[in-house]
Amino acid sequence: MTITIYGIKSCSTMKKACTKLDELGVDYTFHDYKKHGIDKASVQRWVNELRIDKVLNKRGTTWRKLSDDQKAAADANIDQAIDLLIEHTSMIKRPIIEGRYQDQPVLLCGYDQAALDNTFG
């Protein structure tokens, strides 16, 4: 089992996700991309598998604080959106849970209790 949960330690959604994984007995490592950043290959993989509209959180304050030009560029070009996600990691929807569990690939985005139960229960 090699599960990594990506997010920001102070986020309440992250705390719920970690608590749920603990309840389900899932061993995981936590990657705080506020402290450690995130590499472009990981964000690209998430966007390729989940789509940009799932990974990019447009409801948060960081997105709202971007200039109209930055928002337009991100909407028009996925590579520019990915670059913005790397620069402003708080715009990545949380949590991202990735790895292998019971020899099956796992990639989940956002807190979804049913998906966690189905994947790890």
Catalytically annotated residues: 11
The pair of structure tokens assigned to 101 is 């569990």
pTM of the entire predicted model: 0.93
Model confidence over 49-92: pLDDT tens digits?
Answer: 999 999 999 999 999 999 999 999 999 999 999 999 999 999 99
Number of CB atoms found within 10 A of residue 67's CB: 8
Model confidence over 29-38: pLDDT tens digits?
Answer: 999 998 999 9
Model confidence over 3-39: pLDDT tens digits?
Answer: 999 999 899 999 999 999 999 999 999 999 989 999 9
Cα-to-chain-centroid distance, residue 103 = 21
| Domains observed in the chain | 2-120 (3.40.30.10)
